[in-house]
Amino acid sequence: MAQRLYIDVHIIQTVPPANLNRDDQGNPKEALFGGVRRSRVSSQAWKRATRKAFAEHVPAEDLATRTKRIAAELSKRLQARTEIDDENAARIANALLAPLGISAGKKAGDTAYLLFFGRRQLEDIVDLVADDAADLATLDDEALAKQAKELPVEEKFRTGHPKDVALFGRMVADIPSLNVDAATQVAHALSTHAVELENDYYTAVDDENEKEETGAGMIGNIGFNSATLYRYATVGLHQLIDNLTETEAALDAVDLFVRSFAQSMPTGYANSFAPRTRPSLVAVVVREDQPVNLVSAFERPIATVNGIATASADRLAQEFITAARQWGDTPLHTAVCHTLADKESATVDEAFGENRTFADFLAGLRATLAVNVKQG
């Protein structure tokens, strides 16, 4: 495995009234931190938003999908490449997957659980049988299973991972050989301040029944809050290189992740609240020792009426400066992109360096990683 390099990403982002990620009661998720209730967005919600944002920068066929419909998808791709009918395509697809021990689901074409796999990995499996599909379709189930067992299907799932599988990993509890160690860890986003749950009581009027009935045609209630969030993620470049087997592909994946993580947003109640904002601050720290989450900066909640985002950015920078001094940290690289006013950013600039455009921020990160990987 390559030299250990960790890319820590720290984000301060203000979100207006929203319900980005709801709990089992339909209200925004929360957490108790520093003795007060905080707004929370789960790591799973923001990882999915990030993964979905990948498609804005990379062709979908080069990415992965998470679905129970792997057998149905494999069958569909077999039909697209051959002239076999639905029934035989399904038989061949199931036979190809059976040696892996992937349990069938309740519906035809389903597996018992979600699987995270690359679309091109499925095409590689189709390549194994496309030329012989017509002959395979004539075999009975026993002979077909024997033929399928001889093919390197498992190897196709263990190699050629797309960037999203390499970043977020894959765990298949009963088939350890298909597991991929994640190169990325994502923390639950937390508000930097105390938050109270609010409710939007709304009514809808029946457009075609305004005169006969004066009451509402529908009544509803949505929980929401507004918050300035601290978001954190870290990428282990060494693990990413190991997963992708190519340094340039790993550098591309880091760029893709940082860009998408910074600019993505979970879609919960998006039409009701339109909460799309961009971060007030994105900072990156490249380290050789270990990842460091700076959420301790907000254990004492921010309490100000003069701008929570600015106070949060300042507190984050102070925490980084103090930690670096006390622990003797010497990061390989720090950089920041923020929208703070010049008079408000002195501590931030001291901690992370001069403010950069997001494009320069990403370019500088890649240049640093490229140099240090070669040196390692």
pLDDT tens digits for range 337-368: 999 998 889 999 999 999 999 999 999 999 99
Q: Both tokens of residue 311? A: 């106070």
- Closest to 310 in 3D by CA, of 336, 348, 353: 348
pLDDT, greater one: 374 or 169: 169
3-state SS assignment for residue 277: coil
Taking residue 24's Cβ as centre, other Cβ atoms within 10 Å add up to: 6
Check whether residue 12 and residue 53 sit in a common domain.
yes
Check whether residue 109 and residue 13 sit in a common domain.
no
Asked whether residue 90 is assigned to any structural domain, the reply reads: yes
Asked whether residue 172 is assigned to any structural domain, the reply reads: no
Q: Both tokens of residue 183? A: 């190169």
Residue range 106-130: average pLDDT? 89
Could you tell me the end-to-end alpha-carbon distance of the chain, in angstroms, rounded to an integer?
11
In this structure, are residues 238 and 247 in contact, taking their beta carbons and an 8 Å threshold? no
pTM for this structure?
0.92
- Closest to 352 in 3D by CA, of 324, 326, 317, 328: 317
Across the chain, what does the average pLDDT equal?
93
C-alpha angle 341-347-349 in degrees, rounded to nearest 5? 70
Check whether residue 108 and residue 250 sit in a common domain.
no
Check whether residue 24 and residue 71 sit in a common domain.
no
- Look up tokens 């160690």; give the residue: 181
Taking residue 354's Cβ as centre, other Cβ atoms within 10 Å add up to: 10
In this structure, are residues 5 and 332 in contact, taking their beta carbons and an 8 Å threshold? yes
pLDDT at 176: 86
Q: Both tokens of residue 8? A: 């820590």
Check whether residue 130 and residue 203 sit in a common domain.
no
Asked whether residue 290 is assigned to any structural domain, the reply reads: yes
CA distance 157 to 145: 19
pLDDT tens digits for range 59-98: 999 999 999 999 999 999 999 999 899 999 999 999 999 8
Domain range spanning residue 303?
6-60+182-375
Q: Both tokens of residue 69? A: 């419909």
Asked whether residue 169 is assigned to any structural domain, the reply reads: no
Check whether residue 335 and residue 204 sit in a common domain.
yes
